[in-house]
Amino acid sequence: MLRLIISLNINSITNELGDSIIGSNFIYLDETTSTMDVARKYSNDSLNDGLVVFAEHQTNARGRLGRDWISEQNQNITFSILVYPNPEMINQLTILSSVIIARFLESIQLNPQIKWPNDVLVNNKKIAGILVESLFQENNPTCAIIGIGLNVNFFPSVESTNGKIATSISHELGHTIDRSIILIDLLKQFNNFYTEEDSWESIFEYWNQHLVTLGQNITIQTNNQIQITGIAESVNKSGALKIKKENGDIEYIDYGEII
Ligand code: BTN
Protein backbone atom coordinates (compact mmCIF):
# COMPACT_ATOMS: atom_id res chain seq x y z
CA MET A 1 0.00 0.00 0.00
CA LEU A 2 1.24 3.52 -0.84
CA ARG A 3 1.92 5.57 2.28
CA LEU A 4 2.61 9.22 2.82
CA ILE A 5 5.82 9.76 4.77
CA ILE A 6 5.33 12.71 7.09
CA SER A 7 8.20 13.41 9.47
CA LEU A 8 7.60 15.09 12.79
CA ASN A 9 8.36 18.78 13.11
CA ILE A 10 10.44 18.67 16.27
CA ASN A 11 10.90 22.45 16.51
CA SER A 12 7.18 23.02 16.65
CA ILE A 13 6.78 20.25 19.21
CA THR A 14 9.47 21.62 21.54
CA ASN A 15 8.09 25.17 21.11
CA GLU A 16 4.68 23.93 22.10
CA LEU A 17 6.14 22.21 25.18
CA GLY A 18 7.59 25.52 26.44
CA ASP A 19 9.46 25.02 29.73
CA SER A 20 8.29 21.45 30.25
CA ILE A 21 10.97 19.24 31.84
CA ILE A 22 9.69 16.29 29.81
CA GLY A 23 10.92 16.96 26.28
CA SER A 24 13.40 19.69 27.32
CA ASN A 25 15.94 17.52 25.50
CA PHE A 26 14.70 15.79 22.41
CA ILE A 27 16.42 13.30 20.13
CA TYR A 28 14.63 12.50 16.89
CA LEU A 29 16.00 9.56 14.92
CA ASP A 30 15.09 8.08 11.57
CA GLU A 31 16.27 4.69 12.68
CA THR A 32 17.78 3.06 15.73
CA THR A 33 17.85 -0.32 17.45
CA SER A 34 15.52 0.66 20.30
CA THR A 35 14.76 4.05 21.82
CA MET A 36 15.20 2.32 25.21
CA ASP A 37 18.87 1.68 24.39
CA VAL A 38 19.48 5.23 23.22
CA ALA A 39 17.87 6.73 26.34
CA ARG A 40 19.94 4.38 28.51
CA LYS A 41 23.17 5.80 27.05
CA TYR A 42 22.24 9.19 28.52
CA SER A 43 21.20 7.87 31.92
CA ASN A 44 24.46 8.49 33.80
CA ASP A 45 23.83 12.24 33.91
CA SER A 46 20.75 13.61 35.65
CA LEU A 47 21.05 16.74 33.49
CA ASN A 48 19.32 14.56 30.90
CA ASP A 49 16.20 14.41 33.07
CA GLY A 50 13.15 14.49 30.79
CA LEU A 51 15.05 13.46 27.66
CA VAL A 52 12.72 12.17 24.95
CA VAL A 53 14.08 9.80 22.29
CA PHE A 54 11.73 9.34 19.36
CA ALA A 55 12.47 7.00 16.44
CA GLU A 56 10.63 6.55 13.18
CA HIS A 57 11.94 3.03 12.88
CA GLN A 58 13.40 0.62 15.44
CA THR A 59 15.25 -2.45 14.27
CA ASN A 60 15.17 -4.15 17.68
CA ALA A 61 12.18 -2.72 19.54
CA ARG A 62 11.30 -4.66 22.65
CA GLY A 63 8.12 -5.20 24.62
CA ARG A 64 7.30 -6.67 27.99
CA LEU A 65 8.39 -10.20 28.89
CA GLY A 66 11.00 -10.38 26.15
CA ARG A 67 8.61 -9.91 23.22
CA ASP A 68 9.30 -7.65 20.25
CA TRP A 69 7.30 -4.62 19.26
CA ILE A 70 6.34 -4.22 15.62
CA SER A 71 5.70 -0.74 14.30
CA GLU A 72 5.51 0.57 10.76
CA GLN A 73 8.01 3.28 9.88
CA ASN A 74 6.73 6.89 10.05
CA GLN A 75 3.17 5.86 10.87
CA ASN A 76 3.15 5.52 14.63
CA ILE A 77 4.50 6.94 17.86
CA THR A 78 7.45 5.10 19.36
CA PHE A 79 9.53 6.88 21.97
CA SER A 80 11.22 6.65 25.35
CA ILE A 81 11.47 9.17 28.18
CA LEU A 82 14.34 9.23 30.66
CA VAL A 83 13.26 10.39 34.14
CA TYR A 84 14.79 10.69 37.62
CA PRO A 85 11.76 10.41 39.90
CA ASN A 86 11.63 9.57 43.60
CA PRO A 87 11.42 5.80 44.33
CA GLU A 88 7.68 5.97 45.02
CA MET A 89 7.04 7.61 41.66
CA ILE A 90 9.16 5.02 39.84
CA ASN A 91 6.63 2.37 40.85
CA GLN A 92 3.77 4.46 39.52
CA LEU A 93 5.11 4.98 36.00
CA THR A 94 3.52 1.95 34.30
CA ILE A 95 0.03 2.71 35.56
CA LEU A 96 0.58 6.40 34.86
CA SER A 97 1.56 5.73 31.23
CA SER A 98 -1.54 3.67 30.50
CA VAL A 99 -3.75 6.38 32.02
CA ILE A 100 -2.08 9.14 30.00
CA ILE A 101 -2.65 7.26 26.75
CA ALA A 102 -6.22 6.32 27.68
CA ARG A 103 -7.06 9.91 28.60
CA PHE A 104 -5.78 11.11 25.24
CA LEU A 105 -7.85 8.49 23.42
CA GLU A 106 -10.91 9.58 25.34
CA SER A 107 -10.26 13.19 24.36
CA ILE A 108 -10.60 12.17 20.69
CA GLN A 109 -13.85 10.34 21.36
CA LEU A 110 -12.48 6.82 21.48
CA ASN A 111 -13.43 4.45 24.25
CA PRO A 112 -10.21 3.17 25.85
CA GLN A 113 -9.99 0.11 28.05
CA ILE A 114 -7.01 -0.90 30.17
CA LYS A 115 -6.03 -4.53 30.43
CA TRP A 116 -4.15 -5.11 33.70
CA PRO A 117 -1.50 -4.02 34.23
CA ASN A 118 -1.03 -1.52 31.40
CA ASP A 119 -2.09 -2.62 27.92
CA VAL A 120 -4.32 -0.01 26.35
CA LEU A 121 -7.12 -1.39 24.17
CA VAL A 122 -9.89 0.01 22.00
CA ASN A 123 -12.72 -2.33 21.05
CA ASN A 124 -10.81 -5.10 22.83
CA LYS A 125 -7.81 -4.70 20.50
CA LYS A 126 -4.41 -3.53 21.61
CA ILE A 127 -3.60 0.02 20.51
CA ALA A 128 -0.60 0.81 22.73
CA GLY A 129 2.16 -0.93 24.64
CA ILE A 130 4.19 0.36 27.55
CA LEU A 131 7.53 -0.79 28.86
CA VAL A 132 9.16 0.76 31.91
CA GLU A 133 12.76 -0.12 32.76
CA SER A 134 14.27 1.06 36.05
CA LEU A 135 18.00 1.49 36.42
CA PHE A 136 19.66 0.78 39.77
CA GLN A 137 22.77 1.80 41.66
CA GLU A 138 23.65 -0.41 44.64
CA ASN A 139 20.13 -1.84 44.64
CA ASN A 140 18.49 1.59 44.69
CA PRO A 141 16.54 2.80 41.67
CA THR A 142 18.15 5.94 40.27
CA CYS A 143 16.17 6.58 37.12
CA ALA A 144 13.65 5.00 34.80
CA ILE A 145 13.04 4.80 31.09
CA ILE A 146 9.45 4.83 29.95
CA GLY A 147 8.90 3.30 26.50
CA ILE A 148 5.69 3.91 24.63
CA GLY A 149 4.49 2.41 21.38
CA LEU A 150 1.18 3.81 20.17
CA ASN A 151 -0.41 2.71 16.90
CA VAL A 152 -1.52 5.84 15.10
CA ASN A 153 -1.80 5.72 11.33
CA PHE A 154 -1.14 2.15 10.45
CA PHE A 155 -3.68 -0.27 9.12
CA PRO A 156 -3.35 -3.36 11.27
CA SER A 157 -3.11 -6.62 9.40
CA VAL A 158 -2.49 -10.03 10.91
CA GLU A 159 1.01 -10.05 9.35
CA SER A 160 1.93 -6.65 10.76
CA THR A 161 0.92 -7.63 14.28
CA ASN A 162 2.51 -11.07 14.46
CA GLY A 163 -0.88 -12.74 14.48
CA LYS A 164 -2.11 -10.74 17.50
CA ILE A 165 -5.20 -8.59 17.36
CA ALA A 166 -4.25 -4.94 17.22
CA THR A 167 -5.74 -1.67 16.14
CA SER A 168 -4.69 1.93 15.58
CA ILE A 169 -6.14 5.39 16.13
CA SER A 170 -6.77 5.97 12.42
CA HIS A 171 -8.37 2.57 12.06
CA GLU A 172 -10.78 3.35 14.88
CA LEU A 173 -11.48 6.94 13.84
CA GLY A 174 -11.68 6.27 10.11
CA HIS A 175 -9.12 8.96 9.22
CA THR A 176 -5.43 9.66 9.76
CA ILE A 177 -4.29 11.99 12.52
CA ASP A 178 -1.33 14.33 13.02
CA ARG A 179 1.15 12.54 15.27
CA SER A 180 2.56 15.82 16.65
CA ILE A 181 -0.73 16.67 18.33
CA ILE A 182 -0.73 13.33 20.10
CA LEU A 183 2.90 13.52 21.17
CA ILE A 184 2.49 17.04 22.58
CA ASP A 185 -0.54 15.97 24.59
CA LEU A 186 1.19 12.88 26.01
CA LEU A 187 4.37 14.73 26.94
CA LYS A 188 2.42 17.55 28.61
CA GLN A 189 0.50 15.02 30.66
CA PHE A 190 3.73 13.29 31.70
CA ASN A 191 5.14 16.65 32.72
CA ASN A 192 2.05 17.52 34.77
CA PHE A 193 2.47 14.37 36.79
CA TYR A 194 6.24 14.70 37.07
CA THR A 195 5.93 18.22 38.41
CA GLU A 196 3.11 17.09 40.73
CA GLU A 197 0.40 19.21 39.14
CA ASP A 198 -1.52 16.03 38.54
CA SER A 199 -2.12 13.79 41.56
CA TRP A 200 -1.48 10.07 41.93
CA GLU A 201 -5.00 9.68 43.41
CA SER A 202 -6.67 10.90 40.22
CA ILE A 203 -4.41 8.71 38.05
CA PHE A 204 -5.11 5.63 40.15
CA GLU A 205 -8.85 6.26 40.20
CA TYR A 206 -8.97 6.60 36.41
CA TRP A 207 -6.93 3.41 36.00
CA ASN A 208 -9.18 1.47 38.38
CA GLN A 209 -12.31 2.66 36.55
CA HIS A 210 -10.99 1.72 33.11
CA LEU A 211 -9.63 -1.73 34.00
CA VAL A 212 -11.60 -4.13 31.82
CA THR A 213 -9.96 -7.04 33.59
CA LEU A 214 -12.00 -6.67 36.78
CA GLY A 215 -14.80 -9.22 37.11
CA GLN A 216 -13.33 -11.45 34.39
CA ASN A 217 -12.23 -15.05 34.72
CA ILE A 218 -8.58 -14.89 33.70
CA THR A 219 -5.34 -16.82 33.57
CA ILE A 220 -2.16 -14.97 34.45
CA GLN A 221 1.33 -16.07 33.68
CA THR A 222 3.66 -14.71 36.34
CA ASN A 223 7.29 -13.91 35.59
CA ASN A 224 8.40 -17.23 37.05
CA GLN A 225 6.19 -18.99 34.47
CA ILE A 226 3.48 -20.04 36.95
CA GLN A 227 -0.09 -19.86 35.65
CA ILE A 228 -2.86 -18.76 37.97
CA THR A 229 -6.55 -18.90 37.02
CA GLY A 230 -9.44 -17.23 38.79
CA ILE A 231 -11.70 -14.20 38.94
CA ALA A 232 -9.95 -10.84 38.91
CA GLU A 233 -11.74 -9.16 41.80
CA SER A 234 -10.01 -5.85 42.39
CA VAL A 235 -6.66 -4.10 42.64
CA ASN A 236 -4.96 -2.99 45.84
CA LYS A 237 -3.31 0.39 46.47
CA SER A 238 -0.04 -0.69 44.85
CA GLY A 239 -1.79 -1.98 41.73
CA ALA A 240 -1.54 -5.72 42.50
CA LEU A 241 -4.41 -7.75 41.10
CA LYS A 242 -6.52 -9.70 43.60
CA ILE A 243 -7.50 -13.08 42.17
CA LYS A 244 -10.02 -15.46 43.66
CA LYS A 245 -9.05 -18.96 42.57
CA GLU A 246 -11.53 -21.79 41.98
CA ASN A 247 -10.76 -23.30 45.37
CA GLY A 248 -11.61 -19.97 47.00
CA ASP A 249 -8.00 -19.01 47.77
CA ILE A 250 -7.07 -15.38 47.25
CA GLU A 251 -3.84 -14.38 45.59
CA TYR A 252 -2.36 -10.95 44.86
CA ILE A 253 -0.30 -10.71 41.67
CA ASP A 254 2.19 -7.85 41.29
CA TYR A 255 3.54 -8.63 37.88
CA GLY A 256 2.47 -10.89 35.04
CA GLU A 257 0.66 -11.23 31.81
CA ILE A 258 -2.98 -12.15 31.25
CA ILE A 259 -2.98 -14.89 28.63
C1 BTN B 1 4.53 -4.17 25.28
O2 BTN B 1 3.32 -4.03 25.03
O3 BTN B 1 5.01 -5.29 25.45
C4 BTN B 1 5.40 -2.94 25.40
C5 BTN B 1 5.84 -2.39 24.07
C6 BTN B 1 6.71 -1.16 24.19
C7 BTN B 1 7.22 -0.68 22.85
C8 BTN B 1 7.95 0.63 22.94
S9 BTN B 1 8.23 1.35 21.36
C10 BTN B 1 9.28 2.55 22.06
C11 BTN B 1 10.12 1.83 23.10
N12 BTN B 1 11.27 1.22 22.49
C13 BTN B 1 11.26 -0.10 22.62
O14 BTN B 1 12.16 -0.88 22.21
N15 BTN B 1 10.13 -0.50 23.24
C16 BTN B 1 9.31 0.63 23.63
Alpha helices in the chain (DSSP H): 10-17, 35-41, 87-90, 93-107, 169-173, 179-194, 200-210
Q: What is the pLDDT of residue 4?
A: 61
Q: What is the pLDDT of residue 73?
A: 84
Q: What is the pLDDT of residue 32?
A: 97
Q: Per-residue confidence at 3, pLDDT binned at 50, 70, 90? A: low
Tell me how far the alpha carbon of residue 53 lies from the centroid of ligand 1, in angstroms. 12
pLDDT at 240 over 80: yes
- Arithmetic mean of pLDDT over the chain: 91
Tell me how far the alpha carbon of residue 68 lies from the centroid of ligand 1, in angstroms. 8
Q: Per-residue confidence at 257, pLDDT binned at 50, 70, 90? A: confident
Q: What is the pLDDT of residue 64?
A: 87
**Hey, which bits of 105-190 come out as E strands?**
112-115, 119-122, 125-137, 140-150
Which domains, ranges and CATH numbers included, belong to the chain? 10-209 (3.30.930.10), 217-258 (2.30.30.100)
Determine the Cα angle at 127 with ends 66 and 193, to 5°. 85
Q: What is the pLDDT of residue 259?
A: 87
Distance CA 32, CA 148 (A): 15
Distance CA 40, CA 92 (A): 20
Which of 207, 256, 214 is closest to 231 using CA atoms? Answer: 214
Pairing outcome for strands 256-258 and 250-253: unpaired
Ligand 1, pocket-test mutation among 69, 133, 146, most atoms within 8 A of CB: 69
Predicted confidence (pLDDT) per residue in 145-176, tens digit? 999 999 999 876 655 555 568 999 999 999 98
Tell me how far the alpha carbon of residue 78 lies from the centroid of ligand 1, in angstroms. 7
Predicted confidence (pLDDT) per residue in 15-33, tens digit? 999 999 999 999 999 999 9
- Please state whether the peptide bond connecting residue 87 to the residue before it is cis, i.e. omega within 30 degrees of 0: no
Which of 222, 226, 230 is closest to 248 using CA atoms? Answer: 230
* Burial status of residue 194 (CB atoms within 10 A of its CB: 0-12, 13-18, 19 or more): buried
Using the atom order of ligand 1, give the atom closest to the CA of residue 65.
3
pLDDT at 2 over 80: no
Using the atom order of ligand 1, give the atom closest to the CA of residue 71.
9
Dmax (CA) of the chain: 58
Q: Per-residue confidence at 5, pLDDT binned at 50, 70, 90? A: low
Using the atom order of ligand 1, give the atom closest to the CA of residue 37.
14
φ/ψ bin of 112: left (φ > 0), alpha (ψ from -120 to 50), beta (otherwise):
beta
Determine the Cα angle at 36 with ends 153 and 25, to 5°. 85
Percent residues over pLDDT 90 in the chain: 75
Which of 92, 122, 117 is closest to 104 using CA atoms? Answer: 122
Q: What is the pLDDT of residue 160?
A: 55
Predicted confidence (pLDDT) per residue in 72-131, tens digit? 888 899 999 999 999 899 999 999 999 999 999 999 999 999 999 989 999 999 999 999
Q: What is the pLDDT of residue 141?
A: 84
